[in-house]
């Protein structure tokens, strides 16, 4: 009589960028999954993306929507890793054939933060002096701030969070505009001098949430990943991503959003702005959260009727020219 041999538990390979923030996020996902599925081994595999390697060029001038995701996606398609953890705001709204957005985790604070040089301690964004040098690598933040604070000087800033902070502390900037969620995840909440209200800066699509991407045919893994999904965050982010997708905008286009859920009702606000801040269209839609993507499409159509497409066409032309 032969003894039964149990098949070994599956080993699941998680793909991550090598940056400190990416690893903090990926290890958090690994920990949550390990708690839910102790019989499975979860291994983290790191990769460098194009966005990690090109640090001397403004993101907008590179003009690539998959700067921080392509290498990880190739790893999944080549069966080198099973799923990847992304900051959802970095994940393009149109995914490569064969891949899917399997889960979206509970969102941290999606707002933007004002981080000041120590000489401005106690100030807020509207009390900084004329000509203050504000560092940001985001066209979305740049356009909105130029619209409201044309008297500031804006300067591009690249590098990981620690590199940016070092540049600020060295006096290259009077202030930086960064994501609250990233600062909190790296234990830098004390550096947040002001959380910018939505009236000043609508946040990026997906900001504050993590997106888990995997192969579309791996139904077993997709089912497993649902254990860490947050339904309300998913509805909010699906509405935001549909809005962005409809307008054909990438992470380096001045498109901002804000979403709120009350009961079964979802409210989505969006803006499209010119890079110089001179033109800005903004509107809001509300409806049932179960129709999140339709709400995103509805808002995109509203803004298009108000001139959003003309603004974006100018930006797309400038990006193609490399200007």
**pTM of the shown model:** 0.89
90 carries an active-site annotation: yes
- Which one, of 242, 174, 180, lies nearest residue 207 by Cα? 180
Annotated catalytic residue, options 52, 82, 90, 276: 90
Q: Tell me, what's the pLDDT at 58? A: 45
Q: Report pLDDT for 156.
A: 93
Q: Which residues, in sequence order, are bridge partners of residue 87?
A: 210
* Secondary element (H or E) of residue 11: strand 11-17
Residue (of 164, 154, 180) closest to 277 by Cα position: 154
Instruction: Give the Å distances, CA to CA, from 77 to 68, 111, 229.
Output: 16, 33, 23
pLDDT in tens, the chain (323 residues): 444 444 557 899 999 999 899 999 999 999 999 999 999 999 999 987 654 444 444 444 444 455 568 899 999 999 999 999 999 998 999 999 999 999 999 999 999 999 999 999 999 999 999 999 999 989 999 999 999 999 999 999 988 888 999 999 999 999 999 999 999 999 999 999 999 999 999 999 999 999 999 999 999 999 999 999 999 999 999 999 999 999 976 556 899 999 999 999 999 999 999 999 999 999 999 999 999 999 999 999 999 999 999 999 988 887 766 65
Question: Is there a contact between 83 and 212 (Cβ–Cβ < 8 Å)?
Answer: yes
């Amino acid at each position: 009589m032969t003894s039964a041999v149990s098949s070994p538990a599956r080993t699941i390979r998680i793909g991550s960028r090598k940056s400190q923030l990416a690893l903090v996020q990926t290890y958090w996902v690994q920990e949550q999954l390990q708690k839910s599925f102790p019989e499975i081994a979860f291994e983290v595999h790191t990769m460098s993306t194009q966005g990690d390697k090109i640090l001397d060029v403004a993101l907008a001038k590179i003009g690539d929507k998959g700067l921080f995701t392509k290498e990880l996606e190739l790893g999944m398609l080549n069966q080198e890793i099973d799923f990847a953890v992304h900051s959802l705001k970095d994940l393009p709204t149109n995914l490569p054939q064969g891949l899917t957005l399997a889960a979206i985790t509970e969102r941290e604070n999606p707002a933007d933060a004002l981080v000041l040089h120590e000489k401005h301690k106690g100030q807020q964004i509207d009390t900084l002096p004329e000509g203050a040098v504000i560092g940001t690598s985001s066209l979305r933040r740049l356009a909105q701030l130029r619209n409201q604070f044309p008297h500031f000087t804006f300067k591009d800033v690249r590098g990981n969070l620690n590199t940016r902070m070092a540049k600020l502390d060295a006096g290259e900037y009077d202030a930086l505009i960064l994501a609250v969620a990233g600062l909190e995840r790296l234990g830098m909440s004390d550096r947040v001098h002001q959380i910018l209200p939505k009236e000043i800066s609508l946040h990026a699509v997906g900001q504050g949430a993590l997106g888990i991407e995997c192969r579309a045919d791996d139904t077993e893994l997709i089912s497993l990943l649902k254990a860490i999904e947050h339904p309300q965050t998913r509805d909010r982010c699906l509405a935001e991503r549909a809005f962005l997708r409809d307008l054909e905008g990438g992470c380096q286009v001045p498109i901002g959003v804000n979403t709120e859920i009350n009961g079964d009702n979802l409210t989505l606000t969006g803006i499209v702005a010119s890079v110089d801040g001179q033109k800005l269209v903004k509107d809001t839609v509300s409806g049932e959260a179960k129709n999140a993507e339709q709400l995103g499409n509805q808002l995109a159509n509203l803004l298009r009727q108000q001139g959003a497409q003309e603004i974006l066409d100018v930006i797309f032309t400038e990006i193609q020219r490399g200007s």
